[in-house]
Chain A
Amino acid sequence: MRRLKRILRIAGNDIRIMVKDKVFFFWTLAFPILFILLFGYLYKGGETAPPSAELTVLNQDEGRWGAYFLEKIKSPGIVLKTAGTEPAEYNRLIILPPDFSEKIEARKDQALALKKREDASAAAAARVEIRLYQAIARLLSELVLYGDGDLTKFLDGHAEFRDLVTVKTRYPAKTITVVPGGMDHAIPGITVQFIMMMVLIYGGVTVMEDRKKGVLSRLLFSPLSPGALYQAKLLARWLMGMLQALMLFVVGKIFFRLNLGDVPLSLLVIAVFALATAALSVFIGSLMGKEDMIIGLSILMANVFAGLGGCWWPIEVVPPAVRTMGMISPAYWAMDALHKLRFFQGDFAAVAPNLGVLLALAVVLSILAGRFFKIRD
């Protein structure tokens, strides 16, 4: 019991020193929030993709089919802008040539030029393109159905095209009902990344400095054993990670309506992940003797693990081989578990494999960190 109290006192003191440091708030709160805003903005997802995608139309057609085709393109998500000549500025431009109708009526195939500005929104471009393909499919279907005779009279009247097949979308049962926002994806990812970054840098550097400055050896004048000292340092770094996660989740809840799914289970995932990271920070701090090296290695590991683990971009856009490679990153297991909890309303059984992997990693790293923990150089 006394040993536990001593460990708690040392860990509490480490946390107190850390919280007093103004830079701590930059790393734990200000900087991650900046990232959350940026990535949340970048990956806003369905709810905030441009509400309407613009398409400029240069209709040079001398017949009636051009206007008929444009009617088919119209949809609430598409804003059609007509131009008399090819404009200098546009996001997407479709050109209906002067002989558009003539070629259709002569049943001659033709390619319509669709010009896309490279730096315009890719999401809006995709929406326009799909709409164009749908309009072409609809027009061709009508021609197949009713285009037997003279096509010059086709537009004078024909039966209405019926949408006999329609598509309904939904999410799987017992998951979510509302489209997740960009922040729902960004906050867990940034939290996981910054726990790694902050705990590895701050935790590693302070372990190294305490050793170099003789703080660790002086602490041994107290009734504390080297093992207990190691446990106290590990506990302090774990608490750093937990404190940071709690702060970001609370900010996310208040300002960005963050929904984590099962909150206790999400915190359990973060707790085990933070333990693995804390052990790694003590290990790095024990091995290395220079601040720059610790910072460099920490930045390298945190960024590579975050990238591979799906903290920065949706993991679905990652090639399968890189996704498999991502499994070496603890962030991958944490992010996967958080996704299961948030998006699939998963329970303990759903995240048990992830917790198992993270716990095994935490145990291995803790053993390594304990083995290499040094009181003095």
Chain B
Amino acid sequence: MRRLLLILKNDILRHLKAPVAILLYLIIPIAMTGLIGMIFTPSSKDNTLPPIQVVLVDKDKGLASRLFLGAFDADQMKKMFQVTVADEAEGRRRMEKGKASAMVVIPARFTLDVLEIKPVVLEVVKNPAEQFLPDVVEEFMNTMAVMLSGAIQAFEPEARGIRLMLDGPIDAFPWESLGPEFGKAQKKVVAAEKYLNPLLIRLQEEKTKAVGAKAFMTRSDIFSAVLPGMAVMFLLFIVQTVMRDIISEREDGKLRRMLTTPLRPGELIGARIAGGWLMGFAILLVMAVFGTLVFKAYWGSPGYFLLLAAVTAFWTASFFALMNAFLKNRNQAGAISAPVILAFSVFGGSMLSTEAMPKAFQAIGLATPNRWFIDGAALVREGRFPAAALLVLAASGLILLFLAVPLLRRRSTV
């Protein structure tokens, strides 16, 4: 046991003396979490998207189109849309540069058609390079169209009156008749107020979790949700780097030389696996501390999380011990381990939320440590004990260990 601890201490010190690769693997998940957080963390509570850039093309330049443009000046609208008035060519240029999600074209004769109570078609030209925001603009315009249709019908007689005004010579217009017309319009506005201020019907949204549904993070917890996935992915990379000593020592003859001393193969193997485990555990702790300090990530109960981290690191060390028992040399290890880690990470949910994946991919994910660690960490954040994750990782880790030790022992003595 003393010898095992000595080897372990020596190994850890050796890795700490040349820490650049490990540091790089530590920086990657933190950088990725920071990047994802920067992109997907909403800027305010109400608004999850940046303001949508819209170009308004006014081919009418009349009273109605100006009123329509004015509607975009309301504070609520300014939060949602950033409007630029331009012509179609400029609108297209902006779309090509990614500076406009859609272009709303107010047709020529818009004012006249509105005043004549004729059907009007507003055009929404969507940016073909964008996937989501143009649809938001389209649906918003559909809602505006309903409201405009209502307003036109509400003020139909007044609209027709104004239309007449526009036709005749200005000196022939019966100005005295305008007073009663405006009076009627004012009464309608007052009457409409009882339905519109406050709105007679409005929606009160509430976010819920369905019975039995898996915990789902709010957007403000995005760092806490992303970091565990990234951490376990790079835990795999770091532990495989550390555990590759098993192969390199066999390959360059160090192992044979070490076995001429009173060291037993079991002690050497035990030290290597314990080294991978300890290093993995330490890496997860460093990432958790860093995440807490920098990203204000929330991990839940420290005890549960430490237990989960320890079991995941144990699984990882056992897995790479077994893998290295089968591999012949460092090249083979390098070539195989990275694809295996990336496959684990893709299916296990380190790169994409498992809920967004097809069902078959989700099922494959259950065979990865990433999935169990991520799910376990989510439960710990909710204040629950990650029993299933711990059980699966510990049991499969033990099986991997029991398979790895005899194989490694045999290869060490050959």
Contacts and interface: CB of A to CB of B under 8 A. Distances in A.
Given A142-B150, A293-B24, 9 more contacts: A112-B202, A118-B216, A118-B218, A130-B142, A136-B203, A140-B200, A164-B119, A171-B128, A299-B237
Interface of A: 21, 23, 26-27, 31, 34-35, 38-39, 41-43, 45-46, 69, 88-91, 104, 107-120, 126-127, 129-130, 132-134, 136-145, 147-148, 161-172, 175-176, 180, 185, 201, 205, 290-293, 295-297, 299-300, 303-304, 307-308, 313-320, 322-323, 336, 339-340, 342-344, 346, 350
Contacts of B27: 300
Interface string B89-105: 00010011010010100
Interface in B356-380: 356-358, 361
Contacts of A119: 209-210, 213-214, 216, 355
A46 B135 contact: yes
Nearest to B201: A136
A297 B24 contact: yes
A46 B26 CA distance: 38
B206 A116 contact: yes
Contact of B25 (A90, A115, A165, A296): A296
B186 interface: no
A27 B339 contact: yes
Interface string B305-337: 000000000000000000000000000001110
Most chain A beta-carbon contacts within 10 A, residue among B36, B39, B127, B355: B39
B188 to A, nearest CB: 8
Instruction: List the 7 closest pairs (A to B, CB-CB), nearest first.
Output: A141-B150, A296-B24, A292-B21, A111-B204, A343-B128, A343-B129, A23-B335
A118 B335 CA distance: 41
A313 B119 contact: no
15 contacts: A21-B335, A107-B200, A114-B203, A141-B153, A144-B192, A145-B154, A164-B120, A165-B148, A165-B149, A172-B95, A172-B128, A201-B338, A304-B32, A313-B39, A343-B127
Interface string B115-134: 00111111111111111110
A295 B145 CA distance: 55
Contacts of A167: 121-124, 138, 141-142, 145
B128 A319 contact: no
B395 interface: no
Contacts of B172: none
Interface residues of B, number: 100
A292 B141 CA distance: 53
Contacts of A130: 139-140, 142-143
Interface in B175-216: 188, 191-192, 194-196, 198-214, 216
B393 to A, nearest CB: 24
Given A139-B201, A143-B195, A336-B98, A164 B213 contact: no
B170 interface: no
A307 B211 CA distance: 35
A83 to B, nearest CB: 14
Contact of A319 (B50, B207, B237, B335): B50
B342 interface: yes
Nearest to B91: A172
Given A107-B195, A293-B24, A322-B38, A314 B131 contact: yes
B293 to A, nearest CB: 21
B346 interface: yes
B203 A132 contact: yes
A295 B337 CA distance: 12
B199 A31 contact: no
B28 interface: yes
A171 B208 contact: no
A79 B96 CA distance: 37
Nearest to A141: B150
Given A43-B131, A88-B211, A171 B125 contact: yes
B9 to A, nearest CB: 22
Contacts of B343: 31, 34
A319 B40 CA distance: 8
Contact of B150 (A88, A104, A110, A138): A138
B35 interface: yes
B20 interface: yes
A163 B146 contact: yes
A166 B346 contact: no
Interface string B213-243: 1101010000000000000000001000100
A296 B143 contact: no
Contacts of B192: 144
Contact of A140 (B24, B199, B241): B199
A173 B313 CA distance: 57
B152 A164 contact: yes
Interface in B7-64: 20-21, 24-25, 27-28, 31-32, 35-36, 38-40, 43, 49-50
A300 B142 contact: no
B138 to A, nearest CB: 5
Most chain A beta-carbon contacts within 10 A, residue among B27, B114, B195, B198: B195
Nearest to A321: B38
A300 B82 CA distance: 34
B206 A114 contact: yes
A27 B108 CA distance: 55
Contacts of A168: 121-124
Given A113-B204, A165-B145, A167-B122, A296 B150 contact: no
Nearest to A113: B204
Contacts of A117: 207-210, 213
Contacts of B258: none
Most chain B beta-carbon contacts within 10 A, residue among A167, A343, A350: A167
Contacts of B263: none
Contact of B210 (A89, A137, A350): A89
Most chain B beta-carbon contacts within 10 A, residue among A120, A137, A148, A165: A165
Nearest to B206: A115
B208 A116 contact: yes
Contacts of A317: 39-40, 49-50, 132-133
Contacts of B43: 319
A35 B253 CA distance: 40
A140 B145 contact: no
Given A112-B202, A113-B204, A130-B143, A162 B149 contact: yes
A160 to B, nearest CB: 10
B147 interface: yes
B352 interface: yes
B350 to A, nearest CB: 12
Nearest to A89: B210
B190 to A, nearest CB: 11
Contacts of A201: 338
Contact of A145 (B127, B130, B153): B153
B381 to A, nearest CB: 14
A154 to B, nearest CB: 12
